[in-house]
Amino acid sequence: MAPFGKIYTYPNNFRVQRAQALASLNGLEIEIAPDFVFGKTTKTPSFLAKFPMGKAPAFESADGFCIAEGHAICRYVADSGPNSAQLLGNDIKSRARIEEWSCFAENELVAHMMQPMYMSVLHIVPFDEGRYNQSIANLERALKRLAVALEDGRKFLVGDHISMADVMVAGPLMVMGKHLMDAEMRALVPSVMEYLKGLLEIPEVGNAFGALELCETRAR
């Protein structure tokens, strides 16, 4: 089977892992563009002609369609295969709910985890105790909201099958588990951890994200 398209990315990018999981769930193959170097490839005229903002990840389909932004790439991949109705919803309410959780993943998980990651893992901004603590508090609030949705033991956020909502949420949870969601925080939301472990048992998801790594003490 010819690849559906290729993604330009740096290694271990959870945004790309999400797209790869969705592609696999949708019977599609996505390749990683070879010889990509972030900060170098993204500044070349050929790359900027396709992706004017010079951002990664960036996706180029086999027919030449180019799109950037991780959420948009995932949406395009989810909508491009035979399982699109399952991944995106088969009625107006399920589609809206899946989009709601996808936005939650970006606005409540990714947005609040990146500041601590920049400060304590990537070390690209100075450590600020106040901002760090506020971000952790925001993450705990978001995790408790997620736990409420899972309190009846459900395996998926929308309906009886995995959807884009689950994949979008799983991405930042994997990063948080490795660096920020320590034993103390995990103890507050056991249902979230069971949910994540259940998702990783789905071969297409587990193969895309890899093994779950959990920190005992969060990075500071």
Q: Which CATH number fits domain 89-209: 3.30.420.40, 2.40.160.20, 1.20.1050.10, 1.10.10.10?
A: 1.20.1050.10
Domain spans in the chain, listed from the N-terminal domain onward: 5-85, 89-209
Full pLDDT tens readout for the chain, 220 residues:
679 999 999 999 999 999 999 999 999 999 999 999 999 999 999 999 999 999 999 999 999 999 999 999 999 999 999 999 999 999 999 999 999 999 999 999 999 999 999 999 999 999 999 999 999 999 999 999 999 999 889 999 999 999 999 999 999 999 999 999 999 999 999 999 999 999 999 999 999 999 999 999 999 8
Classify domain 5-85 by CATH architecture: 3-Layer(aba) Sandwich (3.40)
This prediction's pTM: 0.96
| CA–CA gap between residue 107 and residue 146 (Å, rounded) | 13
Q: Are 190 and 128 in contact (CB under 8 A)?
A: no
| Closest-CA residue to 28 (of 74, 80, 72, 96) | 80
